[in-house]
Amino acid sequence: MNEYALGQGLWEMGFAAAVPFTLVALSAMAVLLADLWLLPSQKRALPWAALAGVLLSAASVAFLWNEEATGFGGAIRLDRFSAFFAMVFLLGTGLVVLLSSAYARREGVERGEYYALLLFGTSGAMLMASAVELVTFFLGLEILSVSLYVLSGFFRQRPASAEAAAKYFILGAFASAFLLYGIALFYGASGSTTYAALRESFGSAAFPYSHGLLALAASGLLLIGLAFKLGAVPFHMWVPDTYEGAPTTITAYMSVVSKAAAAAAFIRVFGASLSSLQQDTSAVLWVLAVVTMTLGNVVAIAQTNIKRMLAYSSIAHAGYLLVALTAAGEAGYSSVLFYVLAYVFMTLGAFGVVSLVRKGEGGADAGAEALDISHYSGLAGRHGLLAAAMAVFMVSLSGIPPTAGFFAKFYVFSAAVRAGEVGLAIIGVLNSLVSVYFYMRIVFLMYMKEETVPVRGSRSRAGWVALAACVLGTLLLGVLPSSFARLATESIASIF
């Protein structure tokens, strides 16, 4: 068999579908190996190696952009949908790597494992988005989760970090168990674990009633598992502690990649395969959306730690995503995709600023992270650019135009109104109003208060590049959302 035929054979087996995340996983291993050979003084090369892996994988996704393939016995699928999410994950990972390059060194966690685990996590997320079979999806979820358990406890010396990891792990394990039980029930009801089989079994109106009950129970369990990953109320207990204790760059990664991956899996399972159950799920989702938005926004007001505030804000944003998922339909799901993309820029940007702001000279703990929101007082006077960037992200997170956050919410609420959920849209906009209060408080502190604790911004060039990219992305999506929205619609169309 010559090489060409081998390639041809692999292609026909759908190997193409595995290329993007395999490349990320391989780069992870390369980073691990490189870590063994590099001298301590050369460890600075690690983030660039990881970034190279991300870019390589992104190039492969771009190359396969118009391809469609199903591989490994119908376990994974490459389509516009998985390509879109792969790009989102890779974008998020790339930005996190850039932000980490200075942060990890300063915090003394610059080791090969850090970047390798980031890349492994990303490969897991990509697997989740491209899986069309429940066990494969679970595999992806676990790869992502295990990486995150370790990463959130990466400050081994700090109790808060250990607490973050322990809480995340224990509750995450619970959630995985629910999920797995749901998968088992699906298997029992339909005799298969592929999404296609699910659609066939439950898609026709004529499936036996007992199977219908099984499917409902299975959906409920699966929903719990995904809601945990999304950080939706009442499965959100881990979010504030984990977000606060984990290294800031990892928090950023978690809030973006993990949430997006859960949303992707949700759309594939519930949107594309179990749409016949939509009436039952949407009632549950409606309630989840309302309590998630409301609790997230209201509790965020009371926070004094900026990471905790952003944690509750991320719960609230999970609520907006749930509004879109409740609305369902192509409009609802494509608004999820747009939201996720906007969310990458604005949330990573906000956490990025947090990771760059440090306590200044004079205090006992100079150079430590400045995490209290009072540290942001007067930031505009000393670090105009940093403050301006943060202001853009805060405006965007509160959904005020002309920023990405506005159109993200606009698409979500317009999907809700289109689906006839005007009440949900009204609750959503009122929640946005609440959120303005605590996001604008950061702007107010930065611009309208005098400095209380001296702080300084890191001069990390890589970090600044990442921030600039986030600002540009936030504004671009806010002024010219058209082509990105079209991308989202096409991606959704590819799975229906």
Partner 1 sequence: MNGFPLVSVVTFLPLAGAAVIAFVGSDRLRAIRSVALVAALADFLLSVPLLTRFTGSSAGMQFVEKVPWVGAIGASYHVGVDGISLFLVLLTTFLTVLSVAASWYSIASRVKGFMMAMLLLETGMIGVFVSLDLLLFYVFWEAMLIPMYLIIGMWGGPRRVYAAVKFIIYTLAGSLLMLVGILVLYFMHHGATGEYTFDLLRLYGTAIPRGVELWLFLAFFISFAIKVPMFPFHTWLPDAHVEAPTAGSVLLAGVLLKMGTYGVLRFCFPLFPAASVAAAPVVSVLAVVGIIYGALVAFAQKDVKRLVAYSSVSHLGLVMLGLFAFNAQGLEGGILQMVNHGISTGALFLIVGMLYERRHSRMMEDFGGLWKTMPVFAGLFMVVTLSSIALPGLNGFAGEFLVLVGVFLKSVPFAAFAALGMILSAVYMLWMFQQVMFVEPRKRDAPALADVTAREKWILIPIVILVFWIGIWPGFFLSRMHASVDAVLARVWSAGLAGEVARDAGGRGGAAAPDVLQAVSTEAAPDSASAGMTPDVGE
Contacting positions for partner 1 (CB under 8 A): 380, 384, 395, 400-402, 406-407, 410, 413-414, 417-418, 422, 425-426, 429-430, 432-433, 436-437, 440, 443-444, 447-448, 480-482, 485-486, 489
As given in the structure block, the two tokens for residue 141 are 């979820």
Whichever of 156 and 486 has its CB closer to partner 1, that residue is: 486
Min CB(206)–partner 1 separation in Å:
32
Whichever of 224 and 419 has its CB closer to partner 1, that residue is: 419
Min CB(440)–partner 1 separation in Å:
6
3-state DSSP call for residue 69?
strand
Q: What DSSP designation does 107 have?
A: T
Whichever of 91 and 391 has its CB closer to partner 1, that residue is: 391
**Count of C-beta atoms within a 10 Å radius of residue 287:** 12
**Count of C-beta atoms within a 10 Å radius of residue 305:** 14
Min CB(481)–partner 1 separation in Å:
6
Residue 354 exposed, middle or buried by CB count within 10 Å (0-12, 13-18, 19+): buried
Q: What DSSP designation does 357 have?
A: E
Whichever of 194 and 396 has its CB closer to partner 1, that residue is: 396
Min CB(477)–partner 1 separation in Å:
11
CB 167 within 8 A of CB 244: no
CB 389 within 8 A of CB 471: yes
Query: Which residue pairs from 102-105 have beta carbons closer than 8 angstroms and sit at least 24 positions apart in sequence?
Result: 102/356, 102/458, 102/460, 102/462, 102/463, 103/247, 103/248, 103/249, 103/355, 103/356, 103/458, 103/460, 103/463, 104/47, 104/247, 104/249, 105/44
Residue 393 CA from chain centroid, whole number: 16
Min CB(220)–partner 1 separation in Å:
31
Q: Cis omega (within 30 of 0) on the bond before 402?
A: yes
Whichever of 14 and 481 has its CB closer to partner 1, that residue is: 481
Whichever of 189 and 443 has its CB closer to partner 1, that residue is: 443
Torsion, Cα 285 286 291 293, to 10 degrees, reads 90
Whichever of 30 and 476 has its CB closer to partner 1, that residue is: 476
Min CB(49)–partner 1 separation in Å:
37
Min CB(353)–partner 1 separation in Å:
18
Min CB(429)–partner 1 separation in Å:
4
Q: What DSSP designation does 421 have?
A: -
Whichever of 360 and 402 has its CB closer to partner 1, that residue is: 402
Residues 6+ apart with CB under 8 A from 78: 14, 16, 17, 20, 64, 67, 68, 69, 70, 71, 130
As given in the structure block, the two tokens for residue 213 are 């009950």
Whichever of 313 and 489 has its CB closer to partner 1, that residue is: 489
As given in the structure block, the two tokens for residue 251 are 């928090």
Min CB(451)–partner 1 separation in Å:
14
